[in-house]
Structure 1
Amino acid sequence: MKSLFAVAVLSLPATIGLAHGADLSRRPVAQVWNWTGLYVGAHIGAGWSQSKISDDLYNPVIYGNNVRTAAVLGGGQVGYNWQAPGTAWVFGAEGELSALGADGSGTCFAVSGLFVSSNCRVRHEMTGSLTARLGYAMGAAGRTLVYAKGGGAWLRETMDISNRFGAASQRDDRFGWTVGVGVEQAIAPAWSMKLAYDYTDFGAMPISAPNTRGLAFDPFPFYVDIPGHSAQASQVLQTVKLGLNLKLGEDAGARWDTVSPSPLGLPVKAMAASLPVGTEFEVGGRVWYSFGRFQKDLGSYPAPQIQDPLNSRLTYTNETASGELFGRLDTASNIVIKGFVGGGSLSRGKMHDEDWLIQNDSVPYTNTLSDPVVGSITYATGDLGYDFIRDRSGKFAAFIGYNYLRDDKTAKGCIQLADQLFYAPCAQPVSNTGPGISEKNEWYSLRIGLNGVVALTDRLSLTADAAYLPYVRFRGVDVHHQRNEAVKDSQEYGTGQGVQLEAILSYAVTPSFSIGAGGRYWAMWATRTDAYTNAFGIRGLYQALPVRTERFGGFLQASYTFDSAR
């Protein structure tokens, strides 16, 4: 499956390479044009799914039964548009196929603290859809297509369920329905950039809950076997994709020959940046309000390659306000240099600490809640790219870059949510005046992606940025401040992959000054077999430690552009 995903991602440069080869001539064309025709294209994007576990035996649960899985996706699409003569309505059909890189986990069947619950792990491999589209061509020349779509979808996934006493695994092809919306901009007669959101529901299907055990008291504590049984798992997948389409039958080297003038005499920011002999430098600031999530799973065995079942899981959530500076340089030779740096403070955070079969197996399952979680984040991104398509209506670039993220957090206090045993951790609430557990994480990521900027109106522009992170290196330190061991910290290591996605809608207040609003999604996960920890420095104790992090939210920005053409 990794090779399939690599093929999907590597198909993007092939598509863009065709655009670059066609770009050499820059042949002008007349303005008579519509959306009718066959097209092919490629896309890259991010996804996040929710697997909801349900059954009649373990109901209700005290925690979990919802597995959140982040995904990176890449693939291709083929479709046909028909624009009704004399109208702006566009009818079409489209087929998409995407390879997925996704690996999520969560607690399931946690009906009681006296019961050994399970770890549910979900991995997506491929997805596809066949949909009908209805769109409306907007703008003076009808080059902005806003559309909705709906149809059928398919997903291939694997679900593993395990605890210390049993395991079950199944690989399925799931079918469901999908709806979506998108905007597509013709940046040249043959080339268009699209940004699309899809919601897909695959319904529920049977799964097998494994054997487990529960604690009984008659007349003394002992474990009883609980046989496996049938349950259900429903699946919802949401995706955002940035894509480039080639309209067959059009001249791939042609470019628009004129631009509709602004009624106020204001050039569009994206248009000003694309003057053939011009160099443009944009600099600005942002305020980003985001939600963060970090999860790490500690395997039961001293072997990093065995990730299931678990001894422990820590899940941090928080809200963060941060500020950042950003810049972008577009040169006359189509070289693009862009990046940003920022930082902020964590607020309104919580942490769940789950443990299985602790204190010599006398406690089946515990779940403690720590509130608050305080800390900070620091991050930076730098990219180097090339505009393969660039003229007055927009530009489309491929880039390679680097992202750094540091996330420091400390959980304070704790209360027990799952266990009624008087000797369970935090059975007596612990004050939140002092530190309980600290987690310091650093993520180093290689970025390969696409960036597009298009002018929607004379003042309004859309920027979209999607990056696949083929190599992510994770380093962390866990500190249990209240433990009695001489060494209280555990070193953490791992490699993996991830995805980063961003979209910005900007408004040109003046030819040089713009304001905008946008959204951003980051997800990284180190779940390969080299993800491990040396717990509390104990020699020879190297346990599996797959880790996952997400950060998403919205931002406001303002920027000033220096343009040599002005």
Structure 2
Amino acid sequence: MIRKDIISIALASSIAFATPALAQDNDIGDWSGPYVGGSLGLAWQPNFDRDTLERLTFDTNGDGVYGDPVNTATGADAFSPGFCRGRALGSTPGTCGGDKDKRVAFSGYVGYDRQFGNIVVGGVLEGGRTMIGNAVSGFSTTPASYVLSRRMDWDASARLRAGVALPTNTLIYGTGGLAYAKVKNSFATNNTFNSFTETNRSSDEWGWTAGGGVEQKISRNFSIGVLYRYTRFKTDGYTVNAGQGTPPSATNPFVITPAGSTNIQRTNNVFDNHGIRATASFRF
């Protein structure tokens, strides 16, 4: 206990002595001018009902409207075993896993700020990787599993930011703007009776991002900080078509439909994440 108290006092004292050194007054200058930098941190996905209760959804008549049942030749629900979030580990419902809900995120950026009194406004262009991904699985009575997955390959943003500069050479700001991501989709199944054709495996997705942060100048040309952002995309378009296999079947649930095949999508088209990162910037 004494050792912990000594460590706590030492840390507090270090911070107290370091603060004046980091917060030199007018020698550091204002925030106006261009800068470049990088960030490193963690991204994670929320667990709303749309995520935890996600399932596969079907279009059996080719009208583009999903939510149709897939029935066997006797009229029973071909997907009565159910669905689960994550990647199927077998042919029957059980433990699903493999979602990359928490992953390292990193980026590089360029920006420009302008200070008016104690108000700072500017813009920033950023690009990097937020390596999250998720999947949803369905199970048919065959038995067989069907897994639709997506992952973010790389991402970028164009953001405005505005904040207040404190006398301690600290900037507190909010930020928001346009977000872009290259999303890779994939499909896996152990069904060997049907053909499966994927559409829009790689997609360019546009969304929005917003957040805020704190940045501290430690010299005229160098600053460090912490940034939080929430980013949201909609990933419409990825479709798997289950068609007739070889040899043809007159009783296969995917093909005894009005369209002669079945389109498969995910019920949740929102692909979002929270992120918190440490930043370091060089200012010109």
TM-score (norm 2): 0.62
1:34 alignment counterpart: 30
Q: Partners of 2:34 and 2:55 in 1: how far apart?
A: 42
Q: CA RMSD in A?
A: 3.2
The within-5 A match list for 1:286-325 is none
Bigger fraction of residues in strand:
1
Gaps of 5+ in 2: 1-23, 58-65, 70-78, 88-98, 245-249, 255-260
2:136 alignment counterpart: 107
Query: Aligned letter for 1:189?
Result: R
Asked if the contact 1:156–1:172 (Cα under 8 Å) also holds between the matched residues in 2, the reply is yes
Asked if the contact 1:58–1:109 (Cα under 8 Å) also holds between the matched residues in 2, the reply is no
Query: Aligned letter for 1:34?
Result: D
SS of equivalent to 1:224 = coil
The C-alpha deviation readout for 1:290-311, integer Å capped at 9, x for no partner, is: xxxxxxxxxxxxxxxxxxxxxx
Change (3 A) 1:54 1:107: closer
Tell me the CA shift for residue 53 of structure 1. 6.0
Matched, 1:197 2:253: no
2:202 alignment counterpart: 171
1:94 alignment counterpart: 124
2:60 alignment counterpart: none
1:46 alignment counterpart: 42
Q: Partners of 2:120 and 2:134 in 1: how far apart?
A: 42
Change (3 A) 1:30 1:156: same
Tell me the CA shift for residue 113 of structure 1. 5.7
Q: Partners of 2:141 and 2:172 in 1: how far apart?
A: 51
1:235 alignment counterpart: 271
Change (3 A) 1:54 1:177: farther
Query: Aligned letter for 1:199?
Result: Y
Tell me the CA shift for residue 91 of structure 1. 1.0
Query: Aligned letter for 2:111?
Result: G
Q: How many residues align?
A: 207
2:109 alignment counterpart: 77
Tell me the CA shift for residue 209 of structure 1. 3.0
1:410 alignment counterpart: none
Asked if the contact 2:205–2:235 (Cα under 8 Å) also holds between the matched residues in 1, the reply is no
Query: Aligned letter for 1:144?
Result: T
SS of equivalent to 2:27 = coil
Change (3 A) 1:228 1:161: farther
Asked if the contact 1:64–1:106 (Cα under 8 Å) also holds between the matched residues in 2, the reply is no
2:11 alignment counterpart: none
Tell me the CA shift for residue 94 of structure 1. 0.8
Tell me the CA shift for residue 159 of structure 1. 0.9
Identity %: 22
Query: Aligned letter for 1:146?
Result: I
The within-5 A match list for 1:278-427 is none
Asked if the contact 2:111–2:122 (Cα under 8 Å) also holds between the matched residues in 1, the reply is yes
Q: Partners of 2:42 and 2:68 in 1: how far apart?
A: 33
Asked if the contact 2:55–2:136 (Cα under 8 Å) also holds between the matched residues in 1, the reply is no
SS of equivalent to 2:154 = strand
The C-alpha deviation readout for 1:441-494, integer Å capped at 9, x for no partner, is: xxxxxxxxxxxxxxxxxxxxxxxxxxxxxxxxxxxxxxxxxxxxxxxxxxxxxx
The C-alpha deviation readout for 1:229-259, integer Å capped at 9, x for no partner, is: 15353211222221210111xxxxxxxxxxx
Query: Aligned letter for 2:122?
Result: G
Asked if the contact 2:56–2:136 (Cα under 8 Å) also holds between the matched residues in 1, the reply is no
Q: Partners of 2:124 and 2:180 in 1: how far apart?
A: 14
1:133 alignment counterpart: 161
1:327 alignment counterpart: none
Tell me the CA shift for residue 100 of structure 1. 4.3
Q: Partners of 1:157 and 1:211 in 2: how far apart?
A: 22
Asked if the contact 1:43–1:241 (Cα under 8 Å) also holds between the matched residues in 2, the reply is yes
Q: Partners of 1:145 and 1:113 in 2: how far apart?
A: 59
1:64 alignment counterpart: 84
Q: Partners of 2:217 and 2:155 in 1: how far apart?
A: 27
Q: Partners of 1:106 and 1:204 in 2: how far apart?
A: 13
Asked if the contact 1:193–1:245 (Cα under 8 Å) also holds between the matched residues in 2, the reply is yes
The C-alpha deviation readout for 1:250-294, integer Å capped at 9, x for no partner, is: xxxxxxxxxxxxxxxxxxxxxxxxxxxxxxxxxxxxxxxxxxxxx
Q: Partners of 1:63 and 1:183 in 2: how far apart?
A: 42
1:188 alignment counterpart: 219
Asked if the contact 2:231–2:272 (Cα under 8 Å) also holds between the matched residues in 1, the reply is yes
Question: Which structure has more RCO (C-alpha within 8 Å, separation ≥ 6)?
Answer: 2
Asked if the contact 2:130–2:154 (Cα under 8 Å) also holds between the matched residues in 1, the reply is yes
Change (3 A) 1:58 1:199: farther
Tell me the CA shift for residue 31 of structure 1. 2.9
Q: Partners of 1:135 and 1:115 in 2: how far apart?
A: 57
2:150 alignment counterpart: 122
Change (3 A) 1:152 1:66: farther
Q: Partners of 2:187 and 2:275 in 1: how far apart?
A: 25
Tell me the CA shift for residue 48 of structure 1. 2.6
Query: Aligned letter for 2:107?
Result: G
Q: Partners of 1:206 and 1:80 in 2: how far apart?
A: 36
